[in-house]
């Protein structure tokens, strides 16, 4: 007796597979409900990740830095860059965001870019960031010994700047070494990609004296200052945040597509572009 192959028969009604897929699809996220968190909430979320959820600083830096690199690569593909085979400048500050920048630079190198790192002040997480610096050096990433004083030197040499100077803990104004750095970066005409909070801004408010990036990569959840972001791209990197922590802080965040570690958020600019034309044309 011949064996019957079940694969030859279909017991599903025509069109039912498509219908089931549509029924199981998640509803589209309503961006008008998107959560923006305060500096205090960001600090408490970070503390809970470290204590209640047993993450450590290195893990969080790695996850945030990898997310930042992926978002940057999505917006600015290396194959479309015109200067020096994907040359970019990664500016790292003295705190947590500086560590994120070092991780971001390493991953961008592995993605095929040519990062140069500016890291003038050792982090208050010195042992961790020493290790992150050594990892960058092992991939032959150059470190600048001084920051270019003229903006044209930056835009003539690099395709974009990753701003990982200051994060959500920063409170304006910018002081000391970094004041002149930010003044120079404000004059460059290549894209700036800011990690979590544009440098010079506070976590809860924008600042005309700070950077005005083209890409903002929010980490874990957008900070309140992101409501005032007027750039071209806004991404969220925070797939590591446990669902129970989202619920505790009553966060409304969009789902991540597929296996991506980042999700694109709507910006003020994209929302305005979607508004109907009052002229009726």
The pLDDT tens digits of the residues spanning 104-145 come to 999 999 999 999 999 998 766 778 999 999 999 999 999 999
- 185-194, 217-226, 266-275: least confidently modelled range: 266-275
Task: Using pLDDT thresholds of 50, 70 and 90, give the confidence band for residue 280.
Answer: very low
Per-residue confidence band for 10, with pLDDT thresholds at 50, 70 and 90: very low
The pLDDT of residue 279: 45
In a domain, 7, yes or no: no
Identify the pLDDT of residue 39.
96
Coil vs helix vs strand at 136: helix
* 236-277 confidence digits (pLDDT tens): 999 999 999 999 999 999 999 999 999 999 865 555 555 445
Q: Does 16 score more than 70 pLDDT?
A: no
The answer to whether the beta carbons of residues 232 and 264 sit under 8 Å apart is no
| 180 found inside a domain | yes
**Is 18 inside any structural domain?**
no
Cβ distance 158 to 83 under 8 Å? yes
What is the CATH number for 201? 3.40.50.10260
Asked if the structure places residue 50 within a domain, the reply is yes
The tally of domains found in the chain comes to: 1
Hey, what are 30's tokens?
Answer: 């309503």
pLDDT tens digits for range 20-78: 555 555 678 899 999 999 999 999 999 999 999 999 999 999 999 999 999 999 999 99
Residues 253, 238 contacting (CB under 8 angstroms): yes
Q: Which pLDDT score, from 0 to 100, does residue 9 have?
A: 46
Closest CA to 68 of 203, 164, 212: 164
Q: Is residue 27 part of a domain?
A: no
Residue range of the domain that includes 78: 34-266
| 10: in domain | no
| CB-based contacts of 253-262 (< 8 A; 24+ apart in sequence) | 253/34, 253/35, 253/221, 254/29, 254/31, 254/34, 255/26, 255/29, 260/70, 261/63, 261/66, 261/67, 261/70, 261/237, 262/67, 262/70, 262/71, 262/74, 262/217, 262/235, 262/236, 262/237
Q: What is the pLDDT of residue 268?
A: 56
| Residue 120 tokens, joined | 């003038």
Adjacent-strand bridge partners of 202: 205
Whole-number pLDDT of residue 27: 74
Whether residue 119 is contained in a domain is answered as yes
pLDDT at 26: 63
HEC-encoded secondary structure of 167-236: CCCCCCCCCCHHHHHHHHHCCCCCCEEEECCCCCCECCECCCCCCCCCEEEEECCCEHHHHHCCCCEEEE
In a domain, 189, yes or no: yes
């Amino acid at each position: 007796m011949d064996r019957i192959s079940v694969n030859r028969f279909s017991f599903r009604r025509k069109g039912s597979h498509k219908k089931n897929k549509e029924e199981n699809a998640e509803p589209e996220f309503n961006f008008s409900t998107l959560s923006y968190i305060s500096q205090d909430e960001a600090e408490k979320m970070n503390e809970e990740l470290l204590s209640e959820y047993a993450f450590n600083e290195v893990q969080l830096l790695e996850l945030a830095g990898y997310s930042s690199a992926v978002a940057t690569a999505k917006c600015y593909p290396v194959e479309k860059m015109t200067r020096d085979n994907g040359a970019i400048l990664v500016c790292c500050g003295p705190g947590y965001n500086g560590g994120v920048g070092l991780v971001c630079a390493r991953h961008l190198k592995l993605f095929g870019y040519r990062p140069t790192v500016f890291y003038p002040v050792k982090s208050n997480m010195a042992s961790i960031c020493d290790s992150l610096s050594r990892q960058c050096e092992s991939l032959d990433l150059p470190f600048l010994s001084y920051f270019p004083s003229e903006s044209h030197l930056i835009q003539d040499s690099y395709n974009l700047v990753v701003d990982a100077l200051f994060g959500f803990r920063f409170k304006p104004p910018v002081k000391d070494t970094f004041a002149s750095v930010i003044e120079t970066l404000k004059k460059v005409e290549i894209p700036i990609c800011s990690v979590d909070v544009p440098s010079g801004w506070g976590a809860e408010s924008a600042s005309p004296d700070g950077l005005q990036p083209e890409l903002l990569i929010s980490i874990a959840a957008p900070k309140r200052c992101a409501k005032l972001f007027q750039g071209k791209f806004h991404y969220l990197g925070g797939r590591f945040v446990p669902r129970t922590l989202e619920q505790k802080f009553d966060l409304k965040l969009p789902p991540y597509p597929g296996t991506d570690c980042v999700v694109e958020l709507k910006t003020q600019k994209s929302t305005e572009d979607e508004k109907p034309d009052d002229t009726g044309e």
